[in-house]
């Protein structure tokens, strides 16, 4: 692993880990920890951005073609999507779900060599940028949607059980969480469809077989499409929608962690 990459990996990891701990602290003593957490996310994300830039410069091409490399990029995209909402006071608790996951995946990416010097891929850069970029962006969106759904279920449970401290912790309203989950999936799903389309286009041109990763990715797409239909057409608001979003995310996790999404191409 290059020294520059190492120099940037650790600040990013420390930032994310500090944020994860601070968000946990926020549930115990609300107020100040959340402010520290947001700064941890921001600084960590900036350090990871620099890490990705350094990798891009050294690799002389698309550097995240490996499974571990794509995981690194996926973490960056997920935290980036979170940052869109995470800075709002009422949505900070979303980090309670996102940041521990980001830390775990970032460590896995590093252990598997995805956060160090990247090699150039054998495949065309344009194809990889579109295919990997779109699929990973969609997965990042689904991850944030899952975090929103998880936060919904947690907050709903507290409201249902009349938790005495339910008002002490600043959390988004259930309606906002539900609405944002739907919107995030509505944006992420077209990106996934496009990414899959590009993948099939190359498959058609260069030949190759249909494998488990493709099948499970299609299953994820089908689940999220079902979510959108049920939510907007049938009225599956709230708890049922949240469970479905989490089920979709489980499939995404199988694709991301259990199977190799890029190297098989």
Neighbours of 113 (CB within 10 A): 16
* Contacting residue, 41, 109, 171, 255, with another protein by CB under 8 A: 171
Beta carbons of 75 and 20 less than 8 angstroms apart: no
Q: What is the DSSP code (8-state) at residue 31? A: S
Give how many residues touch another protein by CB under 8 A. 25
Report the candidate in 69, 181, 83 with the shortest Cα–Cα distance to residue 133: 69
Instruction: Please give the radius of gyration of the chain, using alpha carbons only, rounded to the nearest integer.
Output: 19
Shortest reach from residue 160's CB to another protein, in Å: 6
Interface with another protein, residue 183, by CB under 8 A: no
Q: Which is nearer to another protein, 69 or 172 (CB)?
A: 172
* Contacting residue, 3, 28, 122, 162, with another protein by CB under 8 A: 162
Q: Which is nearer to another protein, 165 or 209 (CB)?
A: 165
Interface with another protein, residue 159, by CB under 8 A: yes
Interface with another protein, residue 38, by CB under 8 A: no
DSSP 112-148: TTTTSPPPPPSS-HHHHHHHHHHHHHHHHHHHHHHHH
Interface with another protein, residue 80, by CB under 8 A: no
Contacts (Cβ under 8 Å, ≥6 apart) of 34: 22, 23, 26, 89, 92, 93, 170
* Contacting residue, 28, 122, 164, 209, with another protein by CB under 8 A: 164
- What residues numbered 230-249 form the site for another protein, per CB under 8 A? 235-240
Shortest reach from residue 168's CB to another protein, in Å: 5
Contacts (Cβ under 8 Å, ≥6 apart) of 33: 22, 23, 25, 26
Contacts with another protein, residue ranges (CB under 8 A)? 29-31, 155, 159-160, 162, 164-168, 170-176, 235-240
């Amino acid at each position: 692993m290059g020294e520059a990459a190492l120099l940037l990996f650790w600040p990013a990891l420390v930032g994310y880990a500090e944020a994860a701990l601070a968000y946990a602290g926020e549930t115990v003593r609300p107020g100040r920890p959340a402010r520290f957490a947001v700064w941890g996310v921001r600084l960590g994300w900036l350090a990871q951005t620099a890490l990705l830039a350094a990798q891009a410069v050294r690799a002389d091409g698309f550097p995240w073609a490996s499974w571990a490399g794509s995981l690194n990029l996926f973490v960056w995209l997920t935290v980036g999507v979170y940052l869109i909402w995470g800075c709002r006071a009422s949505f900070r608790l979303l980090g309670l779900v996102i940041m521990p996951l980001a830390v775990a995946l970032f460590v896995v990416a590093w252990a598997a060599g995805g956060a160090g010097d990247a090699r150039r891929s054998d495949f065309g850069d344009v194809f990889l940028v579109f295919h990997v970029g779109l699929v990973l962006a969609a997965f990042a969106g689904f991850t944030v949607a899952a975090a929103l759904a998880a936060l919904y279920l947690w907050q709903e449970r507290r409201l249902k059980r009349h938790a005495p401290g339910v008002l002490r912790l600043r959390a988004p309203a259930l309606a906002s969480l539900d609405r944002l989950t739907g919107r995030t999936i509505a944006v992420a799903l077209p990106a996934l469809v496009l990414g899959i389309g590009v993948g099939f286009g190359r498959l058609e041109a260069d030949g190759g077989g249909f494998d488990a990763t493709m099948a499970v990715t299609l299953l994820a797409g089908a689940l999220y499409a079902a979510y959108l239909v049920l939510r907007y057409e049938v009225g599956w608001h709230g708890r049922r929608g949240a469970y479905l979003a989490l089920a979709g995310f489980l499939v995404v996790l199988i694709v991301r962690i259990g199977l190799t999404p890029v190297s098989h191409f």
